[in-house]
Amino acid sequence: MRPKLELLDKPLIERILDEAFQLIEDPGVRVAPYVEDLLRSAGITVKEGVAHIPEVLARRLLDLVPRGFCLYDRLGKPAVHYTGDTVHFDPGSSCLNILDPETQRPRPAMSTDLVRLVQVAEMLPQFAAQSTAMVCNDIPPEIGDWYRLLLVLWYSEKPVVTGAFSASSLNTLIDLLAIESGGRETLRRNPRAIFDVCPSPPLNWSEFASKNLVDLARAGVPAEIVSMPLAGATAPVTLVGSVVQHAAECISGITIHQLAQPGSPIVWGGAPAIFDMRTGKTPMGAIETAMLDLACSQVGKYLGLPTHAYLVAGDGGVVDAQVEMESGMSAVLGALAGINMISGAGMLDFLACHSIEKLVIDAEAIASAQRLIEGIQPRGVSLAVDMFAQTGLQGDFLKLKETRTLFRKEQHFPSGVIDRGLPSPDGTTPDILQRARHRVDELVATYERHPLPDEVERELITFTQREAKSSGLEGLPGILCPEPNLTK
Amino acid sequence: MPDDHFSAMRQSIIDGAPDTASSLAREAVASSIPPIDAINKGFVPGMHDVGEQFAHGQMFLPDMMASAEAMRAAMAVLDPELKKLGTERPRAGIVVLGTTKGDIHEIGKILVGTMLTAHGFQVHDLGVDVAGEKFAAKARELKADIVGVSALLTTTMRNQKGVVEALEKEGLRSQVRVVVGGAPVTRRWAEEIGADGYAKDAMSAVTLAHELMQQKLQIVS
């Protein structure tokens, strides 16, 4: 059996959904003018910017959402399966700062930092997808969202979890993906990326978010709702009350999305958190935050929808025992909950900072979590009797053929980041941060970029130069070695 | 006026009891107690205690919100009385507050505004989702000493820089101090965008505002 963790029983989920449906009808959901006509055409009352969505209609639209879909890698293979209890991880998104690898102090993230993170994540099988992990401070803000996507597409073959910074830039990101995929139709058929779209708590779909939902639906590019109730601040203080709000925000978002294009893929996701009543901070490493994530995703699963959550992040400002305790715990919890995409690895300081060293440590926690959900399997006809028949009471199991053939299935072998007593090459006993740094260097050194086809690279560069020109971007930061003929 | 009356006023703020605070303020007016005394000897010390306890982790944000509500209730009674007397509280400075563009969260900002008001600052709250130009325009209109910019999200804190730039563009930067705050904001971020200060909570915002006013007065003198 596969181990599974659930926090809600069926009657409570039904109550949560019942109240969520009540909320979207009364008081309703604030929506942008952009979607008012769309909603009215479906018979939804919209008064003074507030949509009152009837449960019957919302339920009907929920039924139209695909129960599963895939994200594809550059080679066109399905690499992320948003369905059932399949679990994937990706690095956290949109960080402004990075812990400098040398000083371990936060500083603004640059495009070279994003490239390094992408290279490391590319080498780690624990991450099924990349993310547009950082906001690159050396890139003009008005082109920052699509430029970071370009960097990820340039250096990675994995699917990407991304997002636009404004309503107007979404189409630029989709154009970029279409170039890389070989056209919008191929992108629709084999989506390479999924876009996070965030309602503003409580119950508000802003112009930016509403437009993103509609445009993504019509482009057939998957959307991932990232609802962020902050329990006690922008949502009810009770965990279950926040789960209700999360459900109401997701259902109303799905209503807008499915009205725009029925059957377009969308994910029931979020980054809920508690609100610390002493500091006003939103601790992502708090156990209650993890409980919110698990409960919210359980409601989505109950509806049969693909799910997402924000976990594997810590709150301390440096890579230390606290941060890793928080990150490791939530990695395990998220995996046990069977959440399809778990974002957040590498992040610390209340999601304000990324650390590539933390990312490789988190990868070890993720590997352990992935091993955990494989569970304990019977292997062979007998469980132990046959092996005892061979060794008797001598207990010499090390010599058995079964031992040799099965130990790799039974045991996960962590990298050198985890101290299992292996001697270090230089005889020293490095601490975990040193081991993580070494691991990062090792992964970057062995990373090898797989170029895109020449014509695609040329088109991407031409696109970038054209789009970046008006914002005054000089050169192509982060793209270190394009072939000379590509930049002409 | 017996000290225990001032003590009750102080306690009404600590308890976060707006009805009691309002009632005590009305009693003070009926008893011909100078409104400025009721404010400075009764209610403001209560806010000060709340701020101190909050800073030491002994009170929590919901407590502070309740105290702020009680303070507002008392001031709703006492402010008109001050005006009738043709007086006003000595003003510690003029502050324009708002949540940055793209961000609709205002809990932290409300707390800061409340604490600043309680400590004698004249606060003008622009609300949420405020563009840099609007901050600059209001700062010019009010001849503000300080502009406070809040952000809850990492994606919107970048817009705090736009406020600094808007003030620069309007030629106001030398007269107006910029303070930033919000959950993802750090001192380093404040330095990076050229702000004059970072406040981690409402009480430290008050301390910072006083310090910035001192600096400003020293420069002027």
List the domain boundaries for chain A: 1-376+412-488
B111 with B151, same domain: the answer is yes
Question: What distance in Å separates the CA atoms of residue B161 and residue A430, rounded to the nearest whole number?
Answer: 40
Question: What distance in Å separates the CA atoms of residue A442 and residue B1, rounded to the nearest whole number?
Answer: 76
Total count of residues recorded for chain A: 488
Task: Please write the tens of the pLDDT for every residue from B177-206.
Answer: 999 998 778 888 899 899 999 988 777 898
SS3 B132: helix
Question: What distance in Å separates the CA atoms of residue B1 and residue A372, rounded to the nearest whole number?
Answer: 70
CB contact under 8 A, B104 and A280: no
Per-residue exposure over B24-47, b if at least 16 CB sit within 10 Å of its own CB, e if not: bbeebbeeebbbbebbebbbbbbb
Backbone angles phi, psi at A193, to 5 degrees: -140, 160
Query: What is residue A282's predicted lDDT score, i.e. its pLDDT?
Result: 87
- For residue B27, the enclosing domain spans 3-84
Does the structure show a pLDDT above 90 at B65?
A: no
Cα A335-A338-A342 angle, rounded to 5 deg: 60
The proportion of chain B whose per-residue pLDDT surpasses 70, expressed as a percent, equals 98
Q: Tokens representing A173? A: 């990101």
Closest among B47, B41, B76 to B64, alpha carbons compared: B47
Do residues A311 and A293 lie in contact, with contact meaning Cβ atoms separated by under 8 Å?
yes
Task: Please write the tens of the pLDDT for every residue from A291-315.
Answer: 999 999 999 999 999 999 999 999 9
**Could you tell me the pLDDT band of residue A480, with boundaries at 50, 70 and 90?**
low
- DSSP bridge partners of B123: B95
Averaged confidence pLDDT in chain B: 89
Domain boundary among B60, B84, B108: B84
Q: Tokens representing B29? A: 């007016």
B106 with B26, same domain: the answer is no
B15 with B107, same domain: the answer is no
Among chain B residues, CA nearest to A233: B107
Task: Please write the tens of the pLDDT for every residue from A122-147.
Answer: 999 999 999 999 989 899 888 999 99
SS3 A268: strand
Among chain B residues, CA nearest to A163: B155
Does the structure show a pLDDT above 80 at A280?
A: no
Closest among A189, A235, A197, A249 to A93, alpha carbons compared: A197
Question: What distance in Å separates the CA atoms of residue B140 and residue A270, rounded to the nearest whole number?
Answer: 41
| A280 or B41, which is more confident | B41
A to B CB pairs, distance under 8 Å: 52
Among chain B residues, CA nearest to A229: B105
CB contact under 8 A, B154 and A351: yes
Averaged confidence pLDDT in chain A: 94
Task: Please write the tens of the pLDDT for every residue from A219-263.
Answer: 999 999 999 999 998 899 999 999 999 999 999 999 999 999 999
Do residues A297 and A333 lie in contact, with contact meaning Cβ atoms separated by under 8 Å?
no
Backbone angles phi, psi at A147, to 5 degrees: -65, -40
Count of CB atoms situated within 10 Å of the CB of A75: 8
Q: Tokens representing B17? A: 């009891």
Q: Tokens representing A291? A: 């409980």
The 8-class DSSP code of residue A227 comes to: B
SS3 A90: strand
Enumerate the residues of chain A whose CB falls inside 8 A of the CB of residue B192.
Answer: 108
Question: Chain A interface residues facing chain B, Cβ-Cβ under 8 Å?
Answer: 94-96, 106, 108, 135, 141, 165, 200, 204, 206, 208, 232-234, 275, 277-282, 350-352
Domain boundary among B84, B112, B138: B84
Do residues A95 and A352 lie in contact, with contact meaning Cβ atoms separated by under 8 Å?
yes
Amino acid at A377: Q
- List, in order, residues 6 or more apart from A93 with CB less than 8 Å away: A131, A132, A133, A161, A162, A163, A196, A343
Does the structure show a pLDDT above 80 at B102?
A: no
Range from A356-370, B44-58, B108-122 that averages highest in pLDDT: A356-370
B38 with B147, same domain: the answer is no
- CB-hemisphere CA count at 13 Å for A309? 34
Amino acid at B189: W
Q: Tokens representing A313? A: 């992040």
Q: Average pLDDT in the B108-137 region?
A: 88
B74 with B50, same domain: the answer is yes
Does the structure show a pLDDT above 60 at B114?
A: yes
Test mutation, A93, A100, A278, chain B, max B CBs within 10 A: A278
**Could you tell me the pLDDT band of residue B103, with boundaries at 50, 70 and 90?**
confident
Cα B166-B168-B172 angle, rounded to 5 deg: 100
Question: What distance in Å separates the CA atoms of residue A21 and residue A32, rounded to the nearest whole number?
Answer: 20
Question: What distance in Å separates the CA atoms of residue A306 and residue A85, rounded to the nearest whole number?
Answer: 9
B75 with B147, same domain: the answer is no
Task: Please write the tens of the pLDDT for every residue from A412-457.
Answer: 999 999 999 888 777 788 999 999 999 999 999 999 999 999 999 9
CB contact under 8 A, B158 and A232: no
- Report the phi/psi class of residue A166: left, alpha or beta, with left for phi > 0 and alpha for psi in -120 to 50: beta
CATH number (domain holding residue B115): 3.40.50.280
Does the structure show a pLDDT above 50 at A487?
A: no
Enumerate the residues of chain A whose CB falls inside 8 A of the CB of residue B189.
Answer: 96
Question: What distance in Å separates the CA atoms of residue A96 and residue B186, rounded to the nearest whole number?
Answer: 12
Query: What is residue A258's predicted lDDT score, i.e. its pLDDT?
Result: 98
Question: What distance in Å separates the CA atoms of residue A233 and residue B105, rounded to the nearest whole number?
Answer: 9
B101 with B46, same domain: the answer is no
CB contact under 8 A, B105 and A135: no
B47 with B109, same domain: the answer is no
Enumerate the residues of chain B whose CB falls inside 8 A of the CB of residue A232.
Answer: 61-62
Radius of gyration of chain A measured on its C-alpha atoms:
23
CB contact under 8 A, A352 and B184: yes
Nearest by CB to residue B183, choosing from A106, A277, A350, is: A350
Count of CB atoms situated within 10 Å of the CB of B14: 18
Cα A230-A351-A326 angle, rounded to 5 deg: 85
Question: What distance in Å separates the CA atoms of residue A312 and residue A334, rounded to the nearest whole number?
Answer: 8
Query: What is residue A465's predicted lDDT score, i.e. its pLDDT?
Result: 87
Q: Which helix (H) or strand (E) holds B37?
A: helix B35-37
Cis peptide before A27 (omega within 30 of 0): yes
Do residues A443 and A137 lie in contact, with contact meaning Cβ atoms separated by under 8 Å?
no
B72 with B109, same domain: the answer is no
SS3 B181: strand
CB contact under 8 A, B107 and A95: no
Query: Which range among A84-93, A283-292, A401-410, B149-158 shows the weakest confidence by mean pLDDT?
Result: B149-158
Q: Tokens representing B23? A: 């009632």
Domain boundary among B33, B59, B84: B84
B132 with B111, same domain: the answer is yes
The bridge status of strand A347-348 relative to strand B93-99 is unpaired
Question: What distance in Å separates the CA atoms of residue A276 and residue A231, rounded to the nearest whole number?
Answer: 9
Among chain B residues, CA nearest to A141: B158
Do residues A258 and A66 lie in contact, with contact meaning Cβ atoms separated by under 8 Å?
no
CB contact under 8 A, A280 and B108: yes
Q: Tokens representing A408? A: 């790799």
Q: Tokens representing B212? A: 């910035």
Nearest by CB to residue B105, choosing from A95, A206, A234, is: A234
Does the structure show a pLDDT above 70 at A484?
A: no
CATH class for domain A1-376+412-488? alpha beta
CATH number (domain holding residue B71): 1.10.1240.10
B97 with B57, same domain: the answer is no
Cis peptide before A202 (omega within 30 of 0): yes
Question: What distance in Å separates the CA atoms of residue A282 and residue A150, rounded to the nearest whole number?
Answer: 31
Total count of residues recorded for chain B: 221
Q: Tokens representing A179? A: 């170039």
B120 with B157, same domain: the answer is yes
Enumerate the residues of chain B whose CB falls inside 8 A of the CB of residue A235.
Answer: none
Q: Tokens representing B55? A: 């800073």
Cα A310-A150-A166 angle, rounded to 5 deg: 60
Question: Chain B interface residues facing chain A, Cβ-Cβ under 8 Å?
Answer: 54, 57, 60-62, 102, 104-105, 107-108, 111, 154-155, 157-158, 183-184, 186, 188-189, 192, 200-201
Do residues A213 and A34 lie in contact, with contact meaning Cβ atoms separated by under 8 Å?
no
SS3 B212: helix
Query: What is residue A479's predicted lDDT score, i.e. its pLDDT?
Result: 82
Query: What is residue A486's predicted lDDT score, i.e. its pLDDT?
Result: 44
Closest among A206, A239, A189, B79 to A214, alpha carbons compared: A206
Number of domains, chain B:
2
Task: Please write the tens of the pLDDT for every residue from B152-175.
Answer: 777 788 899 999 999 999 999 999
Closest among A112, A111, A119 to A143, alpha carbons compared: A111
Does the structure show a pLDDT above 50 at A485?
A: no
